[in-house]
Amino acid sequence: MNLSVQIGRLTLRNPVTVASGTFGYGVEYARLLDLNRLGALAVKGIRLDPVRGNPTPRTAEVASGMLNAIGLQGPGVDGFIERYWPFLAGLEVPTIINIWGTTVEEYAEVARRFDALGGVGALELNVSCPNIKEGGAQFGTDPRLLHQVVAACRKATSLPLITKLSPNVVNIAPYAKAAEEAGCDALSITNSFPAMAIDIETRRPRLANGTGGLSGPCIKPIAIKLVWDAAKAVRIPIIGMGGIQSAADAIEFMMAGATAVAVGTANFYEPQTALQVIDGLGDFMRRHGIEEVREIVGSVRIEKRS
Amino acid sequence: MIQNTVRILRNDREADLYYRLTLRAPRVAPLIQPGQFAHLRIGFLGEALLRRPFSVFQVADETFSILYKTVGKGTEALARMRPGDDLSVIAPLGHGFTVPQPGGETPLLVAGSYGMAALYLLAQRSPQKGVVFVGGRRSADILCVEEFRALGWDVRVTTEDGSRGEHGLVTRPLIDEVRRQAGGRKLFACGPTPMLEAVGRIASEFGVPAELSMDEPMCCGVGVCLACVIPIRKGDRWEYQRTCTEGPVFDARTIAWDVRG
């Protein structure tokens, strides 16, 4: 049985990764699970300089999910390399470094810095964070800007490049194509959805930021549709994510067209989820006599009903 | 930090909306330090997915207990769980209280209602006995007084409605006490945020060191989600630190209350 998949020239031992922003820098979970069993580990978004993040409250629990507006708090490139990279570089599991900036040049500069570092598995361009004023989603919701930022990073690095697309578009296909044409190797679909919750007693938003990003099982069917739409439009692999809690959820994403998947919000409440997904995926393959996990990808049967 | 499935031994109403939960957790219990917390995944929660953090109250051999108040979906579901039911727990978590050294400062503990729970292990493991100031809205909010007295501590009760102990806020007798003698004393507090801020002010006014156990909404409990941050002074600047990891206990002097708003 072969669970390995390709993301550009990066080989993942299995298709199960953890989503940026839900797994810190890996070290935080090292005592709770064997990180080396993961297909890949995506770290929290990093820009050039340290970022303080948004005021609190930053999260709110909602039905079958949560809102967050963390604001990409992080140590910046130098702080990350000093504090977290030695640990990550010592793991067998490839690290996907999620990067962002407020300008095309900053994205490219961060990409150059990580290219020079050596040993990085892949870069994931975050063009879809709903919680920051500048940067992030502005690049993910304009196909021309998206093309520019991906092309600039493509020039800056030979590392496998993944673009994390925004769900906040009418049709995801042109964005998926723009990223593919600009030279990226894979797409991450999707990020959290712009959303809001209000405390009716105080009449104030439940997040200090006013609005935030919705994640968790409540977004899964929408995310699967986005993966399905993008998969029809591009040839590059897709990492599907949005509310995955079980192997069954992951398999749905793969059948819709995802080559790999990422466990996100579930890490917060059940840190073993990714490992359970890996085990469950193997069980499913055995039960269905599937030798190559790739056989599942895009295998949804669409029949015309008259 | 260990993740384990643990069995409920007791889950009884203590008084009013307050419950005492005892868990059999032989791997976790011996590791727990005063002021640390346990992150529980409550079954039967349905659409509410996140774990709930609770300060550890008592530890005995292979068990530990928490004292909680039913305030929402999570704690109401927890109150319906029965002995024999299992819970997933991640514990012990966080940076707790500094246990006083023998011959060191005399601890003055300050609790808002069931904030008492987070202070119990500290009182038990402190080589010096001191005074516990506990306050609540009314008599029903005052808990575990006898258990602290059984440890040989002096317990002074205040209620806002005067139904038990002294009438007023818990900070009133505390101020009287540190005014009488500030030197050689140290404050340890757990309770509602406005009480903690007041204790921080008293500490700074009288030059008494203080450690405060902060209560912030939390998701992961292990330092990755960055939901539970509070502003902490670093020289003339400040930065967000995580209540779950750098806290929940912070040196009162470092908390940037003005930034917090």
Residues paired with residue B68 on neighbouring β-strands, in sequence order: B19
Note whether ipTM > 0.85 here: yes
* Mean pLDDT along residues A52-65: 96
DSSP notation for A15-64: SEEE-TTSSTTSGGGTTTS-GGGSSEEEPPPB-SS-B--PPSP-EEEETT
Query: Which residues from chain A sit within 8 angstroms of residue B216, using beta carbons?
Result: 56
Task: Judge: A56–B50 Cβ closer than 8 Å, yes or no.
Answer: no
Q: Give mean pLDDT, residues B190-212.
A: 97
- Domain coordinates of chain B in residue numbers? 2-93, 106-260
pTM for the model stands at: 0.95
Active site residue A129: yes
Measured in angstroms, the CA of B131 and the nearest CA of chain A are apart by 34
Reference B74, options B95, B43, B118, B107; nearest CA is B43
Residues 6+ apart with CB under 8 A from B54: B21, B37, B38, B40, B66, B68
- Model pLDDT, residue A74: 96
Question: What pLDDT is recorded for position A247?
Answer: 98
Could you state, in order of their start, the residue ranges of all structural domains in chain A? 5-295
Cα gap A194→A214, rounded to integer Å: 6
Token readout for A240 is 């599907």
- pLDDT tens per residue, range B32-60: 999 999 999 997 677 889 999 999 999 99
Query: pLDDT tens for residues B73-89?
Result: 889 999 999 999 999 99
At the second CATH level, the architecture of B2-93 is Beta Barrel (2.40)
Residue pairs between chains A and B whose CB atoms are closer than 8 Å: 86
Mutation target vs B (from A43, A58, A201; most B CBs, 10 A cutoff): A58
In the prediction, which pLDDT does A268 show? 98
- Tell me: pLDDT of A226 over 90: yes
Q: For B16-34, how does the pLDDT look when each residue is reduced to its tens digit (9 = 90+)? A: 899 999 999 999 999 999 9
**Cβ–Cβ gap A28/B223 under 8 Å:** yes
Mark yes or no for CB contact B47/A265 under 8 Å.
no
**CB–CB contact B219 A66 (8 Å):** yes
Write down the catalytic residue from A129, A153, A184, A218.
A129
CATH of the domain spanning A5-295, picked from 3.40.50.2300, 3.20.20.70, 3.30.43.10, 3.40.30.10: 3.20.20.70
With vertex at residue A298, the alpha carbon angle to CA A297 and CA A302, rounded to the nearest 5 degrees, is: 150
Residue B20 is predicted with a pLDDT of 96
Residue A306 has pLDDT above 70, yes or no: no
Residues of chain B in contact with residue A207, where contact means CB-CB under 8 angstroms, are none
Residues of chain A contacting residue B47, judged by C-beta atoms under 8 Å apart = 63-64
The nearest alpha carbon in chain A to B219 belongs to A268
Write the CB contacts of B159 (distance below 8 Å, at least 6 apart in sequence).
B135, B136, B137, B138, B139, B141, B142, B165, B166, B167
Q: Residue B188 class from Cβ within 10 Å (0-12 exposed, 13-18 middle, 19+ buried)? A: buried
Decide if pLDDT at B186 tops 60: yes
- Containing H/E element for A199? strand A198-199
What's the fold here for domain B106-260? Rossmann fold (3.40.50)
Whether the pLDDT of residue A131 is over 80: the answer is no
Taking alpha carbons only, the member of B114, B145, B118 closest to residue B132 is B145
Confidence check: pLDDT of A104 > 60 = yes
Residue B174: is its pLDDT beyond 60? Answer: yes
The 3 state secondary structure assigned to chain B is CEEEEEEEEEEEEEECCEEEEEEECCCCHHHCCCCCEEEEECCCCCCCCCCEEEECCCEECCEEEEEEECCCHHHHHHHCCCCCCEEEEEEEECECCCCCCCCCCEEEEEEEHHHHHHHHHHHHHCCCCCEEEEEECCHHHCCCHHHHHHCCCEEEEEECCCCCCEECCCHHHHHHHHHHCCCCEEEEEECCHHHHHHHHHHHHHHCCCEEEECCCCCCCCCCCCCCCEEEEEECCEEEEEECCCCCEEEEHHHECHHHHC
Q: In the prediction, which pLDDT does B259 show?
A: 87
pLDDT band at A303 (very low <50, low <70, confident <90, very high): confident
With an 8 Å Cβ cutoff, the interface of chain A facing chain B consists of: 21-24, 28-29, 31-32, 44, 52-53, 55-59, 61, 63-66, 68, 70, 73, 216-217, 265-272
pLDDT of residue A231: 98
d(CA A66, CA A60): 6
Average pLDDT, chain B: 95
